[in-house]
């Protein structure tokens, strides 16, 4: 009886030992089969990539052009004498009215026309007064009196002309945008003393090439960003011929400028909404440029990576139009494509 019990115990111990060894072998085999490196994991599950679907959409073709701001209705105050300036009554930024005195000349022996005109008016006034008394007494005809009074009027007109010549006057109302001389300097006859412009509206002048002029139409919106603020204007002039010297087309964009954010002489860049296109649109980050070629990585139906060369169209800050190479509905990579090779298994991640 004892021998039987001992045999059973021995057999049980051997069975447990064999079962333990079998479990250990299976565990070791499982550990050997489980991938441990990144390459092995990617070979089994795929290389991770974030994807989107290419779709048909509309895209605005926004192009950038740079140019200088000019005031609307620019006028120039011209010097009529060669004498030095004695006084200047304005500065850059001053608001002026039409015929307002901007500056006076220094009196010299060369500019005596005003004094001569004053003397001439004084003489004409005395002579006319005597002739009027004589006319009232019947000693002078009305025709002779009218002729004398006409002479006095002409003398006064000459005096006003001479007076205006001793001053520099504003030709039109506006804002002084440029002042070219200081007290003591001589502008010279015909010299431009200052520039006056109306700043409630300003013009941006753009030099546009022959390739781009076709995008411009009257009424097209143009936007300038200044200190974080967007200012919208409209194309108001599209010339029919290029400048013969520069070969550029001088396009004009007009902006309302009541707050005077845009000032003459500023060099700014305008974004012009030239046209709207429709086609296959993808995120810009999907395009990989390498060795002079643009390509997009796609994911096939069996989750394999495939590189496709594409032709780009209109491009914005975030999206790009695909003219050739990708169809609507294809799955494209927007992240992770830099690690891909053709035929790699792809693990799509959110």
Q: pLDDT tens digits, residue range 262-317?
A: 988 899 999 998 888 899 999 999 999 999 999 999 999 999 999 999 999 999 88
Q: What is the spatial distance between Cα 148 and Cα 124, in angstroms, rounded to a whole number?
A: 8
The whole-model pTM stands at 0.58
Nearest residue to 255 (alpha-carbon basis) of 328, 203, 317: 203
Q: What is the pLDDT of residues 218-260, one digit of tens each?
A: 999 999 999 889 999 999 999 999 999 999 999 999 999 988 8
Q: What is the spatial distance between Cα 345 and Cα 35, in angstroms, rounded to a whole number?
A: 16
- All residues at 6 or more sequence positions from 77 whose CB lies less than 8 Å from its CB, including other chains: 102, 168, 169, 170, 171, 192, 193, 194, 195, 196
Q: What is the pLDDT of residues 94-150, one digit of tens each?
A: 999 999 999 998 876 656 776 677 778 888 888 888 888 888 888 888 888 888 888
Highest mean pLDDT among 39-53, 72-86, 205-219: 205-219
CA 66 to chain CA centroid, Å, is 6
DSSP string over 75-141: EEEEP---SPEEEE---TT-EE-TT-EEEEEPP-TT--HHHHHHHHHHHHHHHHHHHHHHHHTTSS-
What residues pair up with 256 in beta bridges, in sequence order? 201
Q: What is the spatial distance between Cα 264 and Cα 255, in angstroms, rounded to a whole number?
A: 12
Predicted confidence (pLDDT) at residue 81 exceeds the cutoff of 90: no
pLDDT at 135: 81
CA 94 to chain CA centroid, Å, is 27
Q: What is the spatial distance between Cα 216 and Cα 218, in angstroms, rounded to a whole number?
A: 7
Q: What is the spatial distance between Cα 152 and Cα 117, in angstroms, rounded to a whole number?
A: 11
pLDDT at 11: 47
- All residues at 6 or more sequence positions from 229 whose CB lies less than 8 Å from its CB, including other chains: 261
pLDDT at 25: 52
Beta strands in the chain (DSSP E): 47-53, 55-78, 85-88, 95-96, 101-105, 167-169, 174-179, 192-208, 221-226, 229-237, 249-256, 267-283, 287-290, 293-299, 305-309, 311-315, 319-324, 331-335, 346-349
The mean pLDDT value of the chain amounts to: 85
Using an 8 Å Cβ cutoff, are 251 and 235 in contact?
A: yes
DSSP conformation class of 340: -
How would residue 3 be classed by pLDDT, with cut points 50, 70 and 90?
low
pLDDT at 322: 95
Residues making up the chain, counted from first to last? 350
């Amino acid at each position: 009886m004892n021998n039987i019990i001992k045999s059973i115990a021995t057999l049980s111990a051997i069975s447990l030992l064999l079962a333990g060894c079998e479990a250990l072998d299976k565990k070791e085999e499982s550990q050997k089969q489980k991938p441990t490196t990144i390459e092995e994991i990617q070979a089994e599950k795929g290389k991770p990539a974030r994807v989107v679907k290419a779709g048909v959409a509309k895209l605005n073709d926004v192009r950038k052009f740079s140019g200088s701001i000019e005031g609307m209705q620019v006028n120039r105050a011209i010097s009529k004498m060669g004498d030095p300036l004695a006084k200047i009554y304005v500065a850059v930024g001053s608001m002026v009215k039409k015929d307002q005195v901007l500056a006076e000349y220094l009196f010299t022996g060369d500019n005596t026309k005003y004094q001569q005109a004053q003397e001439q008016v004084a003489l004409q006034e005395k002579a006319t007064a005597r002739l009027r008394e004589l006319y009232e007494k019947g000693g002078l005809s009305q025709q002779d009196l009218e002729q004398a009074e006409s002479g006095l009027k002409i003398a006064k007109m000459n005096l006003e002309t001479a007076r205006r010549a001793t001053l520099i006057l504003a030709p039109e109302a506006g804002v002084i945008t440029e002042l070219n001389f200081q007290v003591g300097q001589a502008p010279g006859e015909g010299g431009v003393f200052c520039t006056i412009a109306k700043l409630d509206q300003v013009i941006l002048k753009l030099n546009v090439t022959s390739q781009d002029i076709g995008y411009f139409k009257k009424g097209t919106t143009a936007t300038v960003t200044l200190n974080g603020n967007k200012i919208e204007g409209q194309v108001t002039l599209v010339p029919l011929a290029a400048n013969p010297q520069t070969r550029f087309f001088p396009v004009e964009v007009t902006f309302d400028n009541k707050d005077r954010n845009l000032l003459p002489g500023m060099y700014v860049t305008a974004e012009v909404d030239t046209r709207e296109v429709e086609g296959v649109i993808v995120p810009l980050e999907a395009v990989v440029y390498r060795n002079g070629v643009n390509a997009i990585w796609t994911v096939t139906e069996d989750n394999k990576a495939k590189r496709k060369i594409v032709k780009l169209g209109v491009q914005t800050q975030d999206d790009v139009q695909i003219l050739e190479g990708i169809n609507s509905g294809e799955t494209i990579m927007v992240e992770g494509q830099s690690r891909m090779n053709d035929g790699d298994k792809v693990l799509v991640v959110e």
